[in-house]
Amino acid sequence: MAYLDFFSSLTHTLADIAVNGGYVTLFLTTFFEGIPLIGIFIPGHVAIIAAGFLASVGVLNVYVVIAVTLVGAVAGYYLSFALGRKYGWPFIDRLRKYFFVKDSHLEKAKK
């Protein structure tokens, strides 16, 4: 039963990460989830579910989990908004031929 040993060691490793840096990991995960092109690869929702589970078993504090998640998500989405506001249209204009963005699509988006 090699898979039981694997999942047992994986569980212990994740518990060590949660105890030693769970809140920081949760903040960074929710922060980077909101940033375009990076957020595609970051499983923020999975981290929130895992943190909720760890809070239910007493490893993490549920109120701190909620606060860290909220602050990380809002900060990540704010950074995403600021980057889009500053670099959005020039970035789209340079790369639109690769993503098949037409002038009609841009006009609809500007409205």
Question: pLDDT digits over 26-52, tens only?
Answer: 899 889 888 877 777 877 788 888 888
Q: What is the DSSP letter of 60?
A: S
12 token code pair: 């212990």
Please count the helices (runs of H) and the strands (runs of E) in the chain. 4, 0
Average pLDDT over residues 83-111: 75
**CA–CA separation, 15 vs 21, rounded Å?**
10
Q: What's the confidence (pLDDT) of residue 75? A: 93
62 token code pair: 């549920």
Q: Give every CB contact of residue 73 below 8 A, 6+ residues apart in sequence.
A: 30, 31, 33, 34, 44
100 token code pair: 């098949």
Confidence of residue 18 (pLDDT cuts 50, 70, 90): low
Q: Model's pTM, two decimal places?
A: 0.68
